[in-house]
Structure 1
């Protein structure tokens, strides 16, 4: 057993061990997690602890002995898990989706119950706006709280360590995506050429996040809302409008019939 340096916390030792287990460099780990190499360097030196989102991503990359440790530090309740098996964690930790209807795909509860492998996805306390009124100010993801940890089948996540969940506010994507829905975003997919006609989340340095369908024209990139009352938005200026990721699927509450 490796002797832990008294000045380096256990989480730093485990991250260093993960790099060795994966046989990759610090820079490659940073790339896979979507952080800077300097951030990973500070982690393994014990100078700066990962955020909850970072811990979830580390857990998704880790072998069995460390995955649950990272997920626990992210805030996931693993008290009832019999051991550190990722598969047992995936089958034992349940997401309450009884009040949610899946918009794209088949039955969520069946998929999660039967999944042999699952991905833990952090649901962030942040919203992509779906109308013409943006948030009052931009939000730094480094300061965003993790509201919950959700599970999804591994087959639904091409880049499992770069998946996040976020809320939707507004009606610009109605009736496709309802106000109050939860988006599941693959933040590894940011190449505009590959996202034409895809639903994406983009971020503006002053206006926060926006969700819509990307349409690429000869000299212009537009965000198109599903709601015809909302005009297209020009996002051609890539220095101001950055593609945050592709929306792979979403869920919304069944609000039931309107009261008479």
Structure 2
């Protein structure tokens, strides 16, 4: 991986230093070029410098596009780039291991908390940054993805438009746990029980009765576990 270019300016202002690191990561030399690279207006960059506050979404976008460590972009600490690793490993230097951030991509596909979503695009729309030590405790960060939820069948646990974190490496069903599952062309988020010859999908909302899926015959080929749900988050409007 090529080294990051030298910083175009120096400043004691933490927000200005963060903006400089974004410019280094994106290999741009001016605020106007930074704005184009992030898909924002030059006025937004000027406003961030004036307020001395950099929106986290800019850092997340930069990290997702460049592979640069989001924690380094935010704070200037830790390695600028995390080292490559084999499957199941996401190493970091001992001094930085507890605080490194890893950006998990947000897929455009939406999980249904209702009757089943048909929005199954695998494209991505940015991502959110998580502490690497948190992700490793939960599973394999390299197999994780974020997806947004549609519907109200998991209320009050998960609401419409919430974001959930999935580990696609955890596909063995533990009864009662929360999973993203696919059946035919639809994908759901449900609590899953596995019985002989079938699975039962449970909603949190009592208005939705359990859904029993027969896995005998052709049904076994149409059902798949996408991954286990590890975390959910909500944006307020």
**Alignment partner of 1:131 out of 107, 114, 117:** 114
**Alignment partner of 1:119 out of 97, 102, 105:** 102
TM-score where L is the length of structure 1: 0.52
**Alignment partner of 2:130 out of 152, 162, 165:** 152
Max Rg structure:
2
Cα drift, residue 76 of structure 1: 3.2
Please list every run of 5 or more consecutive structure 1 residues that lacks an aligned counterpart in the other structure: 1-13, 15-67, 93-113, 256-260
Root-mean-square deviation over aligned CA pairs: 3.1
Are the equivalent residues in 1 in contact too, given 2:178–2:228 (CA < 8 A)? yes
Give the Cα separation in 2 of the matches to 1:159 and 1:90: 24
Tell me which residue corresponds to 2:180. Answer: 201
Give the Cα separation in 1 of the matches to 2:235 and 2:159: 9
Give the Cα separation in 2 of the matches to 1:203 and 1:242: 5
Give the Cα separation in 1 of the matches to 2:193 and 2:75: 39
Looking at both structures, which has the greater relative contact order when contacts are Cα pairs under 8 Å and sequence separation is at least 6?
1
Per-residue CA deviations over 1:82-140 (Å, capped at 9, x if unaligned) read xx667514646xxxxxxxxxxxxxxxxxxxxx9522221001112101112x33x4624
Per-residue CA deviations over 1:4-49 (Å, capped at 9, x if unaligned) read xxxxxxxxxx6xxxxxxxxxxxxxxxxxxxxxxxxxxxxxxxxxxx
Structural mapping, 1:94-243, within 5 Å: 116-132=99-115, 134-135=116-117, 137=118, 139-141=120-122, 144=123, 146-157=124-135, 158-192=139-173, 195-207=174-186, 209-237=187-215, 238-243=220-225
Secondary structure of the structure 2 residue equivalent to 1:227? coil
Secondary structure of the structure 1 residue equivalent to 2:142? helix
**Alignment partner of 1:76 out of 41, 61, 67:** 61
Give the Cα separation in 2 of the matches to 1:252 and 1:87: 22
Give the Cα separation in 2 of the matches to 1:219 and 1:147: 37
| CA 1:187–1:88: 2 relative to 1, 3 Å | same
Cα drift, residue 168 of structure 1: 0.4
| CA 1:178–1:86: 2 relative to 1, 3 Å | closer
Aligned length: 154
Secondary structure of the structure 1 residue equivalent to 2:152? coil
